[in-house]
Structure 1
Amino acid sequence: MIASIVQFLRRDVTRGVVGTILLKVGSGALAFALFSLAARTMSPDGFGIFATWLSVAQIAAVVGLVGQESLLVRFLNEYRVEDRPDLTKGVLLSSLKISSVAMLIVIGAIAIVASTRGDGWLLIVAVSAYTAVSAGLMLGSQVARSLVSILIGEGSREILWRVVVVLFLLVALFGHGQLDPAELLAVMTIAMSIGIVTQIVAVARVLPDFRGTAAHFETSRWRSSALHFWVASILEAANQYFDVILVYWMLDPASAGIYFAASRLANILALLSAALYSFGARRLPSLYFSRNHQEFERTLRLMAEVTALCVVSGLLLIWVGGPYLLNLFGPHFAAQHWVLIVLAIGTAVQAAGGPSAAILQLTGHERIYVPVVAANVALRLVGFLVLIPWLGVLGAAISATASLAFATIALNILCRRRTGVDPSIFVLLRFSSWKRGTYAVRGAEPGE
């Protein structure tokens, strides 16, 4: 058994997946520390307001990117395999221009809405600045991950700036300082700017010299893909952040803070899905476009092995240690253990489903992905409207888990039918997950 484990850990794919997961776990631990310290340095209502505006800003950042972050992952990998620096330059210039203009429009909309609500100017400026910097960090991490490494792309987005904010919050906590949402958002914005600078420096070092390369544009193709990526990204962001806004609107700020804390803890398992997406987005597209289906299958199987192990251990951690983890946010959070368990079941199902969403989007099937995510959002919204008045925060958790399970099952079925690949942990029960001769990418015919 020991020899088998050692051999398993020596595999290159295993090391890559485990390394990416460890990176995500580290970022998750820092996020947990950040939010628990923030809850300790704010009043219950203040933390709920912070969580709500943070959710609004994250959704707004995705809206302002207009799908360009996913578009870059899709086409930078394709153009690198095809050795097309002219198209690489074109897609980079196009994405930067479109996202910059759209972000200015979104920031203006945030300022107008916040001012009509009567929020203070300091909070309006802080939310607007955080939205812009968050979008820049998100876009830069996709470019850095594709062109440099996962460590640079995800480390600058998830690790570096959180270390700075956690240190600031520790100083505030030990100094018995009381923060308000605007102050913390301002500190987070400044810290995230460091991550953007890191990304720019790293990407500039690996980009080819474009000065003698004429940029070529596949505008119609990019526009079509970006639209579907954009809608999918907005729906994904709504799945992740709109819950808190609805709880705030239907209940109160304190309840929104409780739901936010429980959902962040449940995301211990969602971090696994994010890690698999990060690893898959860097490795799988090149294998798919180069028709290396043997290595593609091998990569998926090893990803499934790591996933199965992490899902079981993550659920055990939530079941046993949930009350203690919730108590770190404050005594009134500890009573919400069942909310945490229900949310964790949903994220466990999602993780067990594997990177089906990434495979569909990165292989040219983004159009069928959007309706599933839209149905997920609609189902969750209906569940919130029915269950929150009856069960409160627990009703929100039940609705979120049910809709997430529906989306995961639907995406897996679509992934198997359209690409011939089973990305879930159930692939371990089969001899092969790849149907020989099936290429569902645009421009390829079956049997090619």
Structure 2
Amino acid sequence: MRDLALPRLPARLSARLRDLRTRTGPRDLALALVLKVGGSGLAFLMLTLAARAMGLHEFGVFAYWFSALSFAAAAVLLGQEAAIMIDWQRALEAGGPAAARAALRRSTRLVLIAAPAGGALTACAGHLAGAGWLFSALAGTFSVLLAVLVYGTHVARTVAGIARGDGQFELTWRLFPTAGAALALLAGLPFHAETFFAWAVGGILVALAIQAAGVGAALRGAAAATGPVRTALDPTRVWAARSARLWLGGVLDAANQYVDVFLIGLLLSPVEAGLYYAAARIAALFAIVSAGLHVFSSREIARHAADPAGPGMREALRLVGAATGLAVGGGVLVVVTGGQILLDLFGAAFHAAYLPLVILTVGVAAMALGGPVPAVMRLTGHEAAYARIAGLFVLARCACVATAALADGLIGASLASALCSLACAVVLNASCRRRVGIDPSVLGLFGGAGPFRGTHP
């Protein structure tokens, strides 16, 4: 009997390994993590080289404008980066590929109208604020192309897969300003904020071309549809109302990311803005893994939004929660023990940002441990509730950061930002549990039902 049983173990192990290779969930999760880690590493290299090439004052000017332009890019999307993930899946199930392509055309037309209009307004605002026409034109062009790239990334992720979407956003465009800063350092050439945006515009154009080719190939490979296209799409009024709610949530997310640097640059000086921006970028490093997990989870949440308590959503959030807990623990240790070394990469002048770095790490950790709450609420029909809560905290963050910056400088602003992040994470998670019936936080893993605590109507 023992001799007969021995060959079964390798066979079962082999079957298990084959099952893991063929399951799309773990495979896509691993791909999302690899792209996010690689992209974040490249972004960090890009910023450190830019800081060394520019100097602290010029880097502060860049950080101020980069934050403002990134916010502008999020604002002109009008919620379509999230709406297409919902509409594509619904239209595909209701009317087939032709209906899904009709939903894609509707969102794409809106983005291609809104993004250039927003870019023109951004360029004019920059010139009115005192920037030259060349800088203003480059800034406006960057905001337009960044918005289209963000939208294209969500489209490609949904239609053609994570590699064709997030690969271009995380890696391709960042290679160009990274190379520009490195060349400037090696050759002793000047490297200013407008130089960065010029290189970035070229990189984004290349990324968009590759992205469009991937989406086009995926669409051509889809079978022709036979279902009714018109009835498969939501009425324009319903789509517009949902898009407006998603837009508000996206704008509030962007404000949470970029408002601090903008306010510090406005109220204090470019030097403080540069120090804060460097600290914030390093503090976000340990959340690389959780950010990659959110790339994976956003697609899975959109797929299973109709049944949020079902096994598909359950498995996706369990994968995300377990990996997030490990990432936060290891990342906090790296930031606290090696923060000074990481700041050295920006330059000796950035040593003053160490205490703000440690403080900001607490706020980033709180948001990461809360899990993909924004995606869960926005993609399961609770985008209005999310927008209300996030909006209140954005206003609170602006008021607290501005007041603390004027009273206690960089340390006060960092402390206010971290406390606002902690409070926002707690309130959003409580609302998600109450409204959706899901606890997507890391703490949900320790409950009897994993990340779930029952469902509510």
TM-score (normalizing by structure 1): 0.91
Deviation at 1:377, TM superposition (A): 0.8
Q: Does 1:63 align with 2:75?
A: yes
Give, in whole Å, the separation in 1 of the partners of 2:30 and 2:432. Answer: 24
- What amino acid sits opposite 2:135 in the alignment? L
Say which SS state the counterpart of residue 76 (structure 2) adopts. helix
Give, in whole Å, the separation in 1 of the partners of 2:254 and 2:200. Answer: 19
Q: Does 1:196 align with 2:198?
A: no
Give, in whole Å, the separation in 2 of the partners of 1:379 and 1:222. Answer: 30
Q: 2:243 aligns with which of 206, 220, 226?
A: 226
Contact 1:30 1:163 in 2 (8 A): yes
1:281–1:18 distance in 2 versus 1, CA, 3 Å: same
Q: Does 1:112 align with 2:103?
A: no
1:210–1:130 distance in 2 versus 1, CA, 3 Å: farther
May I ask how many residue pairs the two structures share in their alignment? 434
Deviation at 1:104, TM superposition (A): 2.6
Residue 285 of structure 2 aligns with which residue? 268
Whichever of the two has the greater Rg, that structure is: 2
- What amino acid sits opposite 1:298 in the alignment? E
Say which SS state the counterpart of residue 422 (structure 1) adopts. coil
Compute the RMSD of aligned alpha carbons.
Answer: 2.3
Cα deviation digits, residues 276-315 of structure 1 (max 9, x gap): 2211111233234367712322222222111111010000
Residue 316 of structure 1 aligns with which residue? 333
Give, in whole Å, the separation in 2 of the partners of 1:306 and 1:138. Answer: 25
- What amino acid sits opposite 2:426 in the alignment? I
User: Unaligned stretches of 5+ in structure 2?
Assistant: 1-12
Give, in whole Å, the separation in 1 of the partners of 2:371 and 2:130. Answer: 44
Residue 437 of structure 2 aligns with which residue? 420
Give, in whole Å, the separation in 2 of the partners of 1:375 and 1:124. Answer: 32
Residue 305 of structure 1 aligns with which residue? 322
Residue 410 of structure 1 aligns with which residue? 427
Cα deviation digits, residues 342-368 of structure 1 (max 9, x gap): 111111111111111111111111010
Superposed, 1:123-142 pairs within 5 Å as: 123-142=135-154
Say which SS state the counterpart of residue 328 (structure 1) adopts. helix
Give, in whole Å, the separation in 2 of the partners of 1:408 and 1:300. Answer: 17
Deviation at 1:249, TM superposition (A): 0.8
Deviation at 1:176, TM superposition (A): 1.4
More divergent stretch after superposition (274-283 vs 423-432): 274-283
Q: Does 1:44 align with 2:61?
A: no
Give, in whole Å, the separation in 1 of the partners of 2:374 and 2:63. Answer: 27
Contact 1:137 1:192 in 2 (8 A): yes
Residue 269 of structure 2 aligns with which residue? 252
Q: Does 1:152 align with 2:169?
A: no
Deviation at 1:105, TM superposition (A): 2.4
More divergent stretch after superposition (31-40 vs 201-210): 201-210
Give, in whole Å, the separation in 2 of the partners of 1:313 and 1:19. Answer: 20
Deviation at 1:170, TM superposition (A): 1.5
Contact 2:99 2:227 in 1 (8 A): no
Structure 1 vs Structure 2: percent identity of aligned residues? Answer: 30
More divergent stretch after superposition (199-208 vs 106-115): 106-115
Give, in whole Å, the separation in 1 of the partners of 2:28 and 2:82. Answer: 21
Cα deviation digits, residues 69-121 of structure 1 (max 9, x gap): 11111221233344533432232122122122222321222122222223111
- What amino acid sits opposite 2:79 in the alignment? G
Deviation at 1:254, TM superposition (A): 1.2
Contact 1:350 1:405 in 2 (8 A): yes
Q: Does 1:358 align with 2:397?
A: no
- What amino acid sits opposite 1:23 in the alignment? L
Give, in whole Å, the separation in 1 of the partners of 2:124 and 2:130. Answer: 10
Deviation at 1:65, TM superposition (A): 1.0
Say which SS state the counterpart of residue 65 (structure 1) adopts. coil
Contact 2:73 2:144 in 1 (8 A): yes
Give, in whole Å, the separation in 2 of the partners of 1:239 and 1:290. Answer: 29
Contact 1:81 1:290 in 2 (8 A): no
Deviation at 1:10, TM superposition (A): 5.2
Contact 1:324 1:334 in 2 (8 A): no
Contact 1:269 1:351 in 2 (8 A): no
TM-score (normalizing by structure 2): 0.89
1:170–1:413 distance in 2 versus 1, CA, 3 Å: same
Q: Does 1:74 align with 2:91?
A: no
Give, in whole Å, the separation in 1 of the partners of 2:226 and 2:156. Answer: 22
Give, in whole Å, the separation in 2 of the partners of 1:68 and 1:408. Answer: 25
Give, in whole Å, the separation in 2 of the partners of 1:301 and 1:211. Answer: 35
Q: 1:391 aligns with which of 390, 408, 429?
A: 408
Q: Does 1:169 align with 2:176?
A: no
- What amino acid sits opposite 2:443 in the alignment? F
Deviation at 1:404, TM superposition (A): 1.1
Residue 7 of structure 2 aligns with which residue? none
Residue 87 of structure 1 aligns with which residue? 99
1:377–1:398 distance in 2 versus 1, CA, 3 Å: same
Q: Does 1:183 align with 2:195?
A: yes
- What amino acid sits opposite 1:344 in the alignment? T
Say which SS state the counterpart of residue 347 (structure 1) adopts. helix
1:180–1:212 distance in 2 versus 1, CA, 3 Å: farther
1:66–1:322 distance in 2 versus 1, CA, 3 Å: same
1:215–1:152 distance in 2 versus 1, CA, 3 Å: same
Cα deviation digits, residues 21-49 of structure 1 (max 9, x gap): 23211111111100110011113221111
Deviation at 1:275, TM superposition (A): 1.7
1:18–1:342 distance in 2 versus 1, CA, 3 Å: farther
Contact 1:17 1:306 in 2 (8 A): no
1:108–1:212 distance in 2 versus 1, CA, 3 Å: farther
Give, in whole Å, the separation in 2 of the partners of 1:81 and 1:337. Answer: 51
Say which SS state the counterpart of residue 289 (structure 1) adopts. coil
More divergent stretch after superposition (90-99 vs 269-278): 269-278
Residue 31 of structure 2 aligns with which residue? 19
Give, in whole Å, the separation in 1 of the partners of 2:437 and 2:149. Answer: 34
Give, in whole Å, the separation in 2 of the partners of 1:434 and 1:211. Answer: 37
Give, in whole Å, the separation in 2 of the partners of 1:186 and 1:395. Answer: 35
